[in-house]
Chains A and B, each alone.
Chain A
Amino acid sequence: MSAEIIIPGELDDSLDPTQHDVRPQRRRALTQGRGLVGLVLVGIVVVLGFAAPLLAPYSPNEQIPGANLLGPSSTHWLGTDEVNRDVFSRMVHGIRVDLLVVFLAVPLGAILGSLVGLVTSWWRITDVLTQRVFDVILAFPSLILAIALSAFLGPGLWTVVIVIVAAELPVFGRLVRTSLRTVREMPFVEAAEVVGAGPLWVLRRHVLPNSLEPLTIQLAVSMSVAVFIEGAMSFLGLGVRPPAASLGSLIRDGVRTMYDAPYFAVGPLLVVVALVLGLLLISQALAESRRA
C-alpha cells in the first residue's frame, strides 16, 4: 500500500512559493485524459450509491422466501445470496458504506494529520516526539493494525473508520510537516520571521497554499487505499456487521459460495476496481498537471 504513497520529496522540488493559484490547471487535469476517465469511473459509482433506494428492486436486508442462492435472472440481476437476499440491491446499498468510508474517514484522517503535523512541527521537541510516534504507527502494516484494533473494538463500520483514520493520520502529518519545513527554510520566510511575522501569518500566507496541492493528490491516493482497507478488512471478517453490506463483505460472501455461484462476487469486484482505479487516475492526473 505504501507503494502508492507519494514520497514528499518528489513533490517538493517543484514547489514555488509565488504560484498560489493553481486551480485552473487542476480543473484542466480532470477534464481530459486519464483524469476524465477517473472522474467518470468515480462518478458512476457515486451515482449508483446515491441512487441506491431508487435503483434497488428490493430492500437490501429483505429475505425473499425460497430464493436461496439463485443465479442471475431478470428479477434478480446478480442473483440472491445465502440468506435469500437480492445481491444487486445489497451491492448498490453497499456502495454507500464504501463512500462513507472514503469521503468521511479519509478527510478526517487528513484534517487530523495535517493539524498534528502543523502544530507539532513548529517546536523542535514536539516535532521529534511526533515523528517517533508516527514511526511507531507506520511501522505496523495497516492490516495488522486493523486486526489488532478490531480485536479491541469488535468488528464494525466504525472500526473500519478508526483504522483508516489511524493509518492516514501519520501520512498527512508527514506531508504537511515536510511542506512546512521547506517553506520555513525559504529566505523570504526566514526574513519575515526575523521582522516579527507570527506563525499564523506564515501558515496562512505560505504554508497552506503550498501544501494544498500535494495534500489533494495524497487525498485521492489515500481514498483509494481506504477502499482497499475496507475491502481487505471485510474480507477478513473485521468489517461491517451483518446484516449491513459493504463491497468487501459482499466479496467475502461471494467467495464463500465460489464453487456454486462464481458470478456472485463479480459485481462487487467490478465496483471496487472502478472506484480504486478512478481515484488513482484522478490522483495521477493531478500530480501530472502539477509537475507540468
Chain B
Amino acid sequence: MTANRTDLTLLRRGAAVLLTAALVTGCSSAVADQRNGGFSSGGGEQILHIGSTNDIVPGTVFTNSSDTTNTLIGSVYDSLVDYPLDSLDAQPSLATSWDVAKDGTSITLDLRDDVSFHSGREFTSKDVEFSIRTWADPVWTVQLQRTAAAVTDFDTSDPHRITLGFDHPLSNILDLLDMVPIIDSESFDQLKTGEAYVGTGPFVFESWTPNAKVELSANEDYWGGAPGVDGIEVSVISDPQAQVSALRSGQVDLVTGASNRDLATLAEDDKYTVSQSDYGQQVYVGADLANPALKDVRLRQAVAYSLDRERILDEVYQGAGVTTSIPWAETSPAYDEELAHHYDLDAAKAKSLLAEVGDVGTLPLSYPAGNANYEATAQIVQANLEATGIRTELKPVEFTQFIKQLIAGEFGGLWILQHSYAQYTPSTLAVSAYPFNADKNASHFVDDDYKAHADGAWTRASGVDEGAVKLYGELNKDLIDNAFLLEIAILKGQVATSDKVGGEFTWSKRGELQLDDVTLGG
C-alpha cells in the first residue's frame, strides 16, 4: 500500500517536472520568436518595430524633446516646406511655391489642393494659420516660439494660398515653416491629452499606451505615395542596453537610443546596419561669468584650449561627429573652417593664459546625472583641466534640477550640456537656443555688440545673403573672443537597424526619421 502510494507520488512529480520543462523549453522560445518577428506580424502585415528611449509627453509634443515624439511628428505630420540636408534651400512640401516680399515683412505661399487630413477633411490655408498660431502659444514652449509669435497677420481668403505678415523682417521664416507640423484643429483637444494625432503625413496615428508603445498604420492615400510598410510600432525601452538586447533578439527592427559603444559594436556585425544622420546635437562646456574667476576671459580661453576634443569624440562618442569651436554645421552660411579649429588643444597656450590669471581655486563642473556620455565627458574634461592646472569638482545634477539651474543661471562655474540648431539659419540659434540668448543666458554674458549682431541677423529679409554672412562673421568673432560657450563637437544622430530593414532610409533636417520609403524584407 505504502509502496504504491510512493510510486504514484513519484509518477506525479515526474510528470510535473516534465510538463514544466516542456513549458520552458519545448514549446517555443521567446527569443527565437522575437527573432522571427513571430507574434506581432500576424496576417502577414509588415510592421516596423522601433525601440525608442523616451515616451511621448503630450504637453511638449512640439519640442522635439524625445525620440518617440520625433518619430511620431515626422511620420504623422507634414510641414509646408522641407529643407534638404546639405543646404538652406527649402524644397516644396505642402506648399508648392512661395514668395518673400522685398521688404521681408511677409511671405505668400501656394498650397497643395489634393491633400486631406487622416480624418478625411481637406487641408486648407486655415489649417496653416491654426498651426502657426498654436506654435506661437507659449504654453507649448516650442523652440521657435519667438519667431512664430512675430507672425501676426494671416490672409486666408484663398483656401489654397496664404499670406503671412510679420512684425519685422524674419530671416529665419523658412526655418519656422520647415519645423511647424500642420495639425488638425478639430482634434486639437485630443492632441493635448495624447488621445489623437491627426495630420496629413504618410502614417496614421492609431493608439498610444503611456510608458509602453505608439502604434501607427500606413496612410494608403498619402499624397506623396503610400509608405513601404503597413505600420509602425514604437516601443518605449528606456534602458539603452535593453534596446540593444531587443534589437539583437529581434524584438525590434530599429533602435534610436543605443549607446555609442554598442552602436560601434553593432556596426561591425553584418546582421546590423548603423546609419548616421548629418546633424545631431552639439555638446559644449558652458562658463558662468558669475563666478569671479571665470569673469576673466583669459581663464575661459585657457579652458577652451585645454579641451581634448578629439579624445572626447573618439572615446565617448566613438567618432560619431566632428570636433569644433563654433556652433555651426559645415553647411551653415556662418561656418568658418579656420575658426572651427580656433580652440584646438594647445597645452602651452592654455598654461600661459592660466599663468597670467594666477590661482583660480576649485571650479564646480556640473553635468546632468545618470547619463553615461555626460559622465565620461565630464571626467575627461576634469582630467584635461587638471593637466593645465585648473582644479574642478564634479557635480552630477539630476536632469530636471539641471535645467532649472540652467534657466536660472545658477551653475556658478562650468557645466556640460548639449544644444541644437547648428544646421539651421544662424539667427535661429542666436534667438532660440537659450545658452546663446543675447538678452539673458546661463553664462550671465551680456554684451552690446553681441546683442546688436544677434538681433541684426534675425530682423533682416534674408538669412543667407552677403549682408547676412558679414553679420555672421561679427557674431563668430563675438563667440570666439568671449569664449562663454566652449563647443566640443557636433554629434551625429545614429540608429541601428537589423538586416530585415531595407529601402530608403533618411532623416529630415529636424532630425526626424523619414520612414515612408522603408521596407521590411526577409
Contacts and interface: CB of A to CB of B under 8 A. Distances in A.
A and B touch in the complex (CB under 8 A): yes
A242 B394 contact: yes
B376 A154 contact: no
Given A154-B395, A154-B396, A243 B379 contact: yes
A95 to B, nearest CB: 20
B383 A63 contact: yes
Contacts of A151: 398, 401
Contact of B394 (A150, A243, A259, A260): A243
Interface in A144-184: 150-151, 154-155
B261 A257 contact: yes
Contact of B244 (A69, A242, A259): A259
A51 interface: no
Contacts of B378: 242
B311 to A, nearest CB: 9
A112 B430 CA distance: 55
A184 B283 CA distance: 66
Contacts of B379: 63, 83, 242-243
Given A155-B396, A259-B244, A260-B261, A82 B369 contact: no
B396 A68 contact: no
B5 to A, nearest CB: 36
Which label, helix, strand, loop or mixed, suits the secondary structure of the B interface?
helix
Contact of B380 (A83, A255, A256, A258): A83
Contact of B315 (A82, A150, A255, A260): A82
Interface string B364-395: 00000110100110111011000000000011
Interface in A240-271: 241-243, 255-260
Contacts of A242: 375, 378-379, 394, 396
Contact of B376 (A83, A150, A155): A83
A237 B397 CA distance: 11
B382 A82 contact: no
Contacts of B376: 82-83
Interface residues of B, number: 24
A84 interface: yes
Contacts of B396: 154-155, 237, 241-242
Nearest to B398: A151
Contacts of B382: 243
Contacts of A150: 398
Contacts of B153: none
B241 A258 contact: yes
Interface in A200-242: 237, 241-242
A256 B259 contact: yes
A100 B431 CA distance: 50
Given A63-B383, A237-B369, A255 B261 contact: no
- Specify which of A69, A151, A255, A257 lies most central, judged by the most chain B CB atoms within 10 Å of its CB: A257
B114 interface: no
Contacts of A82: 261, 315-316, 372, 376
Instruction: Name which of B244, B262, B397 has the most chain A CB atoms within 10 A of its CB.
Output: B262
A260 B398 contact: no
A260 B265 contact: yes
Interface string B306-319: 00000000011000
Contacts of B398: 150-151, 154-155
A241 B394 contact: yes
A259 B315 contact: no
Interface string B252-273: 0000000101100100000000
B498 to A, nearest CB: 16
B241 A68 contact: no
B475 to A, nearest CB: 35
Given A68-B315, A83-B379, A258-B241, A154 B372 contact: no
Contacts of A243: 379, 382, 394
B427 to A, nearest CB: 37
Nearest to A82: B376
A240 to B, nearest CB: 10
A91 B378 CA distance: 21
Nearest to A63: B383
Contacts of B375: 242
Given A63-B380, A82-B315, A155-B396, A255 B241 contact: yes
Contacts of B369: 154-155, 237
Nearest to A243: B379
Given A83-B376, A83-B379, A259-B244, A241 B395 contact: yes
A256 B369 CA distance: 15
A260 B372 CA distance: 15
A242 B381 CA distance: 12
A68 B317 CA distance: 13
A84 B376 CA distance: 10
A68 B318 CA distance: 11
Contacts of B315: 68, 82-84
A2 to B, nearest CB: 27
Contacts of A241: 394-396
A154 B366 CA distance: 12
A242 B394 CA distance: 7
B262 A259 contact: yes
Interface in B323-374: 369-370, 372
A154 B241 contact: no
Interface string A83-95: 1100000000000
Contacts of A68: 315
Contacts of B395: 154, 241
A54 B380 CA distance: 26
Given A84-B315, A256-B241, 9 more contacts: A63-B380, A154-B397, A154-B401, A155-B398, A241-B395, A242-B375, A242-B378, A256-B259, A260-B265
Interface of A: 63, 68-69, 82-84, 150-151, 154-155, 237, 241-243, 255-260
18 contacts: A82-B261, A82-B316, A83-B376, A83-B380, A83-B383, A84-B315, A151-B398, A154-B369, A154-B395, A154-B396, A155-B398, A241-B396, A242-B394, A256-B241, A256-B259, A258-B241, A259-B262, A260-B265
Interface of B: 241, 244, 259, 261-262, 265, 315-316, 369-370, 372, 375-376, 378-380, 382-383, 394-398, 401
7 interchain residue pairs of minimum CB distance: A237-B370, A63-B383, A83-B379, A68-B315, A243-B379, A82-B376, A242-B394
